[in-house]
Chains A and B, each alone.
Chain A
Amino acid sequence: MNPILELKNIHYNYHSALGETPALSDISLTLFKGEFVSIVGPSGCGKSTLLSLIAGLIKTDKGSINFNHADGFVGYMLQHDNLLEWRNIYKNCLLGLEINKKLTKENLEYVDHMLKQYHLEDFKYKKPSELSGGMRQRAALIRTLALKPELLLLDEPFSALDSMTRLTVSEDICKKIRKEGKTTILVTHELAEAISLSDKVYVLSKRPATIKAVFDIHLTKDPDDILGARKAPEFQNYFQKIWEALYGTENL
């Protein structure tokens, strides 16, 4: 099977008037269709930079990125929902389609379908400020999914939510993404979230980020039961191993 995304020996440096800051160093990563992968690492280690590179917003200094899908779109969901206050929820969800001139009947029906699926249809004509954080995040996801991305990049999409909402919203959203078989990369610094949601967890080091360790996650649980994952017998073990990979043994 061909991988959908291949990163080979990626290097990236930030430039400013004060000098050069290495952000990423020798990152290689392979992703197959339908996989759900998490990237964890200390704050400011360059996780978001990595996503920006994959999304094509910035160009690599060294190394190659192969996205093996001729006309596929990379959907990149940013940390903040950035819903535009002068548009209602529906118009916000259509923003991507508008920009790409894809306001076809089929796509509009798809957006309507998703609004129903994510329990937002009653809020279609409300302003973003009238919605709760969880609802805003779901609307932002619909905006990204409306373009039917082949690859979905999530940059700490739940970090703006309080911890209770975070659990339910992340379960709800990730269940739906998995059901659609979307290939996904999730950046997070919540280890429990990474373990319970993904097939694979990449651990990055401090800046300049390198891949410190990779864990294949196999939990004995119902694949749809994301909250239940935290009760799986292997969960603690993964948590401890990933923690050690991140911070070393002395901090435990």
Chain B
Amino acid sequence: MEQKIYERNLIRNKRLIIAARFLILFSFILIWEFASRFGIIDSFFFSSPTGVIESIHEVSLNGGILVHTGVTLYETMLSFVLTVLVSVLIAILLWIFSTAAKVFEPFLVALNSLPKSALAPLLIVWLGTGSKTIIIAGMSVAIFGSIINLYYGFKQSDEESAKLIYTLGGTKKDVLLKIILPGCVPVILSNMKVNIGLCLVGVIIGEFLAARRGLGYIIIYSTQVFKLDWLIMSILILCFIALILYFILQFMEKKLTQFFMS
């Protein structure tokens, strides 16, 4: 009986949270629309929901917006996947060769603190203005911090558990495969959550500077021609992309945790 009441309250609470989220979103859109219609804000600078929808319609007519969104999404995903793979690999190598890790530590910290937008112009000179440059710009923002976080995560794994592996006749390889990697799944996942956002930042910076395609390019272009409807539309699409990426990661987190906990 009490369990039922508890469960009902739990469900009610969940619904309340979702309802509140939509309420905030819709009232924001409504207030925005009214404010621009009644001249409280200047719709030239602040656009309006209908303005955004019109410009989506306008740009999709000449086929652009889907392609630009697709390009940004593709570049972000690719730089994210590469960042995760490369940084896990390097963190494992640093864990294996602990002396090398000590040697490289100050370099990694310095590279991580560097404002990566300063690197983007250099990347353009080196690699040209193609997709490759954008993807590497995306990686450059996330990868150094990712390596550092993963390496510290690996290092903080329980030493007693490592000793256990040795008492069972195992080697350093077994410590890595049976203790470090499965034990660090939460670290890797939270690291991925940070990385996806950073990769998106890097890709947009890259597109600002070097691209002829992608949402970053649209943002720069629309400021130059003062089409602020387009600019705000791009920002909204970016919000949407971030949301989708967040849900993809949440799904992956569930799957990975299930896989390692079974």
List chain B residues, Cβ under 8 A from A99: 165, 168-170, 174, 178
In the complex, whether A100 has a CB less than 8 A from a CB of chain B is yes
Contact call B168/A100, Cβ cutoff below 8 A: yes
- Contact segment of A16-24, A74-82, A215-223: A74-82
List chain B residues, Cβ under 8 A from A57: 163, 166-167
Contact call A82/B158, Cβ cutoff below 8 A: yes
Binary per-residue interface labels of chain B (221-262) against chain A in the complex, 1 for a CB within 8 Å, 0 otherwise? 000000000000000000000000000000000000000111
In the complex, whether B64 has a CB less than 8 A from a CB of chain A is no
List chain A residues, Cβ under 8 A from B261: 86, 127
List chain B residues, Cβ under 8 A from A75: 167
Docked complex Cα distance between A73 and B170 (Å): 12
Tell me how far the C-beta of A70 lies from the nearest C-beta in chain B, rounded to whole angstroms: 15
In the complex, whether A200 has a CB less than 8 A from a CB of chain B is no
Report the count of interface residues on A (CB-CB < 8 A): 21
Tell me how far the C-beta of A59 lies from the nearest C-beta in chain B, rounded to whole angstroms: 13
Contact call B168/A86, Cβ cutoff below 8 A: no
In the complex, whether A42 has a CB less than 8 A from a CB of chain B is no
A95-B168, A96-B168, A96-B169 as given contacts; A84 in contact with B160, CB under 8 Å: no
Contact call B183/A100, Cβ cutoff below 8 A: no
In this complex, the interface size class of chain B, counting residues with CB under 8 Å from chain A, is 20 to 34
Docked complex Cα distance between A98 and B166 (Å): 13
Docked complex Cα distance between A143 and B168 (Å): 9
In the complex, whether B185 has a CB less than 8 A from a CB of chain A is yes
Docked complex Cα distance between A75 and B262 (Å): 27
Kindly identify which residue among B163, B170, B182 contacts A84, using a CB–CB cutoff of 8 Å: B182
Docked complex Cα distance between A84 and B161 (Å): 8
Tell me how far the C-beta of B18 lies from the nearest C-beta in chain A, rounded to whole angstroms: 31
Tell me how far the C-beta of B100 lies from the nearest C-beta in chain A, rounded to whole angstroms: 21
Docked complex Cα distance between A95 and B167 (Å): 11
Contact call A84/B167, Cβ cutoff below 8 A: no
Residue of B nearest to A98 (CB): B178
Contact call A76/B183, Cβ cutoff below 8 A: no
Tell me how far the C-beta of A143 lies from the nearest C-beta in chain B, rounded to whole angstroms: 7
| 7 shortest interchain CB distances as A-B pairs | A76-B167, A96-B168, A99-B170, A82-B164, A99-B174, A86-B182, A82-B161
